[in-house]
Structure 1
Amino acid sequence: MPHYENVRAVLGRAVADGVLGQDRPVAGFIDVQGVRDGVTALHEAFAHVPDVLHAFAAKACPLVPVLRLLADAGMGCEVASPGETRLALAAGFAPERIVLDSPAKTRAEIHEALTLGIALNADNFDELDRIAALRPAGSRSVVGLRVNPQVGAGAIPEMSTATAHSKFGVALDDPGVRERVVEAFGQRPWLTRLHAHVGSQGCPLPLIAGGLATLHRLAGEIDERVGRRQVTSLDLGGGLPVNFADDTVTPTYQDYVRALTDAEPALLDGRYQVVTEFGRALLAKNGFTAAVVEYVKDSGGRRIALTHAGAQVALRTVFMPDAWPVRVTAHGPDGSPKATAPMAQDIAGPLCFAGDLVARARTLPEVAEGDLVVLHDTGAYYFSAPWAYNSLPRPGVYGFANRAGDVSLTTIRTPQTLDEVARESGLSHADALLTASGRTAARVT
């Protein structure tokens, strides 16, 4: 079914079911079959590679039902915090299919990973020493070292992790570092993986492929210098950019594989197990956010639509609109596309600061109170980074299946209640500061 018809059908069902409307003015939606199709496309692109672990980057959508869907579809999981590790285990990923990445792992995190058999990539030489001290005899964990190939930045510097001064990994081209890397492997026979991640959105495929070709060459150099086959796997990270301009999926996983092969023909020849860590590429285009238009007004000759989708659900778009623009479409209260005359409109959120805009002077059909706006391609990172500014509750997220126009919804994340907001904000400790100051709390009735 065409994307716009899918959105229309889902909105109609959401309104009819009461998960979107005046009482629940913002909600997120994830296409269950679309996620499965994305996993299939990923596996097909790498079908010629003998040994691959595709690990979904949990930070892109850390919702247990989504992670469980991905596990069922054959994915592993990449995690970068104790919370993400807990979610991955709860979702049913086997420890050996989990990869722990983080630039600031605590001893407790490292101990847990080594005990359970979770793979981990050390960010720096000091962490390697810490792993060596904590690693139990016979640990099943694959241990790698993250290197920074320092190939430069893409269009969004904040998303580029292989720059000269990146906080991630060991800077391979800095004086003496390559030699230290070789020595680190020579001294630790259990160190068998190399990891690099060049960047994500805004990084062109040749830049990514060039960095990973450097990783492949380094693996061969290590084996030659230590005099044995030591590096057995390469973790290529993720970073496939997403097209946010329209519904076209580009670049594809096939494009990514071709770029890797062009940069280094032997990279995927089977000598090394390959690990990938895609997140945005799998989920972004399989999700959208919908919100109610509460008011419309004019200011300075421009129409402003005040909606319930702002920085609390689209943080990057609001604060970095040029780097993270989203498509917005206008719909009637029943979900049908608006057919009113187009005009330039600001699509504003509900937060109390002037910059809370998800679109500026965007030409859309004129919207009115009670209409709906849709933020497209928000399946990755938008549901995972809610902002609690103004103490707005986190919206519900729903999975949808569309079988020949018959849409069904299932709850992925229950909308947060105001009571839950209060408890999260210290309600059970309401008198704590009065007690600490020696005053008797006055009860509010």
Structure 2
Amino acid sequence: MAGMTDELGIRRGHALRAAVEQGLAGEAEPVVGLLDIAGIAASATALHAAFATPGVTVTHTFAVKAASLVPVLGLLAECGLGAEVASPGELALARAAGIPAERTVLDSPAKTLAELREALELGIAVNADNPEELARIDRLRESAPAGSPFASPVGLRVNPQVGGGSIGAMSTATATSKFGVALRDPGALEWVLDAYARRPWLNRLHTHTGSQGVPLELMVAGVRAAYELAERINAAAGRQQVTALDIGGGLPVNFGSDATVPSFADYADLLRAEIPGLFDGRYGIVTEFGRSLLAKNGTVLARVEYAKSAGGRPIAVTHAGAQVATRTVFVPDSWPIRVLALDAEGAEKTGEPVVQDVAGPCCFAGDLVAKGRALPLLEAGDHVALLDTGAYYFSNHFAYNSLPRPAVYGYCVLPDGAVAFSPVRAAQTQEELLAESGAGFPSLRLRS
């Protein structure tokens, strides 16, 4: 583990310096995203190894919302992963990346009739969120052309109501969560059992307990509830009606160091210990990890534009703020990130730590990615690196002050330490920003 952690930091250090040397980051492009290609591949390998079990079919999908970037999805597809999508846009991205229908899962609490029809016609797995959605699928199946039954696996998402973690917004198995059929509500369990009894084609069961802030034990409790429900459904049917359990994703990430804890192996081993029947070959397993695959493999690199002080506290004003680190800025206690102080060449600074704020460019006082952080004193022309930002930070831009989306590059570090960069997304141009903001339409006019 220590060796892998060291390699991650060494590759990142090479990439940060090279990004500045090669002009990817600097005065012209003051903020950029960097993705460690080898690190992403290693994360995918670790996931496959953790769940690999003789006689068990395991399909790993990536939650596209965590990195809605086609080249990243393409890399993950090469690493054997599929895609978990929650909108028509995410499905389009997955298809553009070449991810096949048989490795794609559609989850969303608000699927339209058109979305459902498209997924079923393509052969994409669908997890229905609620009774009304399941009734829509019934009608689509009934209206399908004769002799052309849909081949998509279809499941039902259930909320085991096992409780929440330390971040309420990331906890999806609370008593009042908006997701899935709440199993402990009066009459819900009976309805689920009847729904499967009346639909012999309903062959999956899905649950997802949450994400960051949710402990492994709570995640396992949610999967156990789904497994026990599948056992009841199959016993009532007298056959293996539920053939696959989609256990979701949500493995939390350690934002305090380069260490990958908990690991995919930690989670899989706990599942094996607590729910051995899940791995005995009767059920296929589907996963939907996102943040845990990408977070540690990404870094935001930003230039320090000004250094100032207020009330005796130094402030480094950088070009990375709420537009890229939205959750960190607005909910810093739940989403803290590590910051490296770098010099003008992109090398890590040394020197006595000084308590200072690291601010972003957005025009509101709370736009801080680090408050009261002890770092070597930052100066104008230096850089900062925001670590563990490979998931969500690049692909979910917050367009405050009409700040453009930054460029994103993947990188490979060669044996001699040289760094090769591959474009993932170009920086948004001012023309693109204007078009997105309606510049092509005439001004509004009052009408009498």
TM-score, normalising length: structure 2: 0.96
Q: Give the Cα–Cα distance (whole angstroms) in 1 for the partners of residues 274 and 368 of structure 2.
A: 41
Query: In structure 2, the residue corresponding to 1:267 is in which secondary structure?
Result: helix
Which residue in the other structure is 2:75 paired with? 69
Unpaired runs of 5+ residues, structure 2, are 1-5
Give the distance between the partners of 2:318 and 2:238, measured in 1 at CA. Answer: 63
| 1:255 to partner: Cα distance | 0.4
2:45 corresponds, among 29, 40, 49, to 40
Aligned to 2:3: none
SS at match of 2:40: helix
Q: Whole-Å Cα distance in 2 between the matches of residues 90 and 183 of structure 1?
A: 39
1:24 aligns with 2:29: yes
User: Structure 2: which amino acid aligns with 1:421?
Assistant: L
Is 1:241 aligned to residue 252 of structure 2? yes
Equivalents in 2 of 1:311, 1:212: separation in Å? Answer: 35
Q: C-alpha deviations, 1:272-330, integer Å up to 9, x for none?
A: 01000001110000111010000011101111110000000000000110000000010
Counterpart check, 1:411 vs 2:394 = no
For residue 29 of structure 2, what is the amino acid of its counterpart?
R
Question: Does 1:392 pair with 2:403?
Answer: yes
Pairwise mapping of residues 213-362 of structure 1 onto structure 2 (< 5 A)? 213-362=224-373
Q: Deviations over 1:59-90 (max 9, x none)?
A: 10010000000111110110000000000001
CA distance in 2, matches of 1:2, 1:230: 46
1:422 to 422, 434, 444: 434
- Separation in structure 2 between the aligned mates of residue 362 and residue 282 of structure 1, nearest angstrom: 27
Q: Secondary structure at the match of 1:313?
A: coil
Deviation of residue 403 (structure 1)? Answer: 1.3
8 Å CA contact 1:9, 1:335 repeated in 2 = no
Between the aligned residues of both structures, percent identity stands at 56
**Runs of 4+ that moved beyond 4 A:** none
Native 8 Å contact 1:182 1:226 kept in 2: no
| In structure 2, distance between residues paired with 1:352 and 1:117 | 47
Q: Does 2:202 match 1:191? A: yes
Larger mean Cα displacement after TM superposition, 141-150 or 257-266? 257-266
Q: Paired residue for 1:156, among 167, 171, 186?
A: 167
Pairwise CA distance, 1:380: 0.4
Using the alignment, how far apart are the partners of 1:143 and 1:389 within structure 2? Answer: 39
CA distance in 1, matches of 2:281, 2:264: 18
Displacement of 1:167 after TM fit?
A: 0.3
- Answer yes or no: is the 8 Å Cα contact 1:206–1:263 preserved in 2: no
Tell me how far 1:386 sits from its aligned partner.
Answer: 0.5
Task: Report whether the alignment pairs 1:4 with 2:15.
Answer: no
C-alpha deviation, 1:138, in angstroms: 1.6
1:167-206 paired onto structure 2 within 5 Å:
167-206=178-217
Tell which deviates more after alignment, 382-391 or 7-16: 7-16
Q: Distance in 2 between matches of 1:87 and 1:305?
A: 37
Structure 2 counterpart SS, 1:53: strand
| RMSD, aligned CA | 1.1
Unaligned runs of 5+ in 1: 439-445
CA shift at 1:229, angstroms? 2.2
